[in-house]
Amino acid sequence: MHADGGSALTDKWKGFIFSLSWDGHVHEEAQTMYSLMIVEDEELIREGMKGCLDWPAYGIELIGDAADGREGLEMAIALRPDIVLTDVVMAEMDGIEFVRRLRTDIPDKTIRVIMISGHEDVEYIKSALKLQVVDYLLKPFHTEELEDVLRKVLRECDEERAMRDRLSSLERNVGASRPLVRERFQQELMSRELDEAELAAYRDALGDGDEFGELTAVLRDKPDQRKVVRAVTAYMQRSFREELSLAQMAAHVHLSPNYLANLYKKETGATVNDALTGLRLDEAKRLLREEPGVLIADLAERVGYKDGKYFTKLFKREVGMNPSEYRERSR
């Protein structure tokens, strides 16, 4: 809608109707456009918003508009938009309740919401932010303000799409894609804070079961990281007499081997292998003191080493003498 077609609107809403002054930052039209819904109870304003921007130039397809939150919710469930532009104060169902229902009724999709309102009530704004609303515009707003918010939303959409594309590529090209995606997820969580779009992409690839929730909580929470280390240590103490690999220990706590190795070293200062070796050698020394007649080959097997020669070499390297010498000195 251009300025010469805006005579029907009051001066209050002129911010919706003047021509765009393109500044070179327009979103390039994507092969698959993002979908947008408008929810606004004042028909004049709703029509003004529908025509105030060249939506396709932003890579946006305007797929529907609704006159209140209840109608908007039904439409959103049916159309599953990427972006929703909604008023706050509406009959039937207000914008806050509409967005709350949007989050609960469509939990498997990240819908980015921009709220608009004539109210400057701080509580409204706080309620909107709690619902992960991207931004909050106060009426009457200038078209450029809406453009700025849209650029922010489109950047988030692009980042989410890029993440989904990367995960889809992994699933197409890697036979053991789930373990690889899982390890990548763990590494990313360890190194930085993932936003909701990235978490949603990983959730799509890995499934939204109990394990995903537990894994996310563990990797993001320091007490839970310590809990993992304690669980691995207890597992080693119970199982060190068996052949025990890093992969087995990692599987026990639902982590990748690389992530567990890094986490254990970070929390304890020792590697998993060093901790396991320490447990085995402590038990070997106890047996040498308390069972002086035990054969070295049998001793090695009882503490988790199938190769007696390797055990003797390791014992001497770590203790400073071979098992027989240690036994003699312990008498």
Residue ranges matching CATH 3.40.50.2300 in the chain: 3-161
List, in order, residues 6 or more apart from 46 with CB less than 8 Å away. Answer: 38, 40, 65, 67
How far, in Å, CA of 317 to CA of 323, rounded? Answer: 11
The answer to whether the bond into 140 is cis (omega within 30° of 0) is: yes
Secondary structure (DSSP) of 217-274: HHHH-HHHHHHHHHHHHHHHHHHTTS---HHHHHHHTT--HHHHHHHHHHHHSS-HHH
Q: Report whether pLDDT(10) > 70.
A: no
For residues 32 and 49, give the distance between their C-alpha atoms in angstroms, rounded to a whole number.
Answer: 22
pLDDT of residue 143: 82
Tokens representing 265 are 């070293």
Cα dihedral 82, 86, 88, 91 sign? negative
Q: Which helix (H) or strand (E) holds 187?
A: helix 177-191
**Residue 5 pLDDT more than 60?**
no
Question: Considering only CA atoms, which of 6, 115, 118 is closest in space to residue 51?
Answer: 6
| Torsion of the alpha carbons at 113, 114, 116 and 121, rounded to the nearest 10 | 80
**Which of these ranges, 27-36, 232-241, 304-313, has the smallest mean pLDDT?**
27-36
End-to-end CA distance of the chain: 97
Predicted confidence at residue 187, as pLDDT, reads 67
SS3 25: coil
pTM: 0.46
pLDDT of 141 reads: 76
Phi, psi for residue 245 in degrees, rounded to 5: -110, 160
Of residues 41 and 183, more confidently modeled? 41
Fold of 3-161: Rossmann fold (3.40.50)
Residue 4 — pLDDT band, cuts 50, 70, 90?
very low
**pLDDT digit string (tens) for 277-301?**
999 999 999 999 999 889 999 999 9
Residue 15 reports pLDDT greater than 60: no
Backbone angles phi, psi at 6, to 5 degrees: -105, 15
User: What stretch(es) of the chain map to CATH 1.10.10.60?
Assistant: 273-331
Residue 301, pLDDT score: 92
Alpha carbon 90 to chain centroid, angstroms:
33
Q: Which residue has the higher pLDDT, 10 or 90?
A: 90
Predicted local distance difference test score (pLDDT) of residue 6 = 36
CATH architecture classification, 273-331? Orthogonal Bundle (1.10)
For 27-41, what is the mean pLDDT? 73
Q: What's the rounded Cα separation, in Å, for the pair 211 and 213?
A: 5
Distance separating alpha carbons of residues 259 and 184, to the nearest angstrom? 10
Which of 34-38, 113-117, 270-274 reaches the highest mean pLDDT?
34-38
Report the C-alpha gap between 266 and 249 in whole angstroms. 17
Each residue's pLDDT tens digit, 100-128: 888 888 887 888 888 887 766 656 666 66
Q: Is the confidence at residue 232, as pLDDT, over 60?
A: yes
Q: Identify whether the C-beta of residue 69 lies closer than 8 Å to the C-beta of residue 92.
A: yes
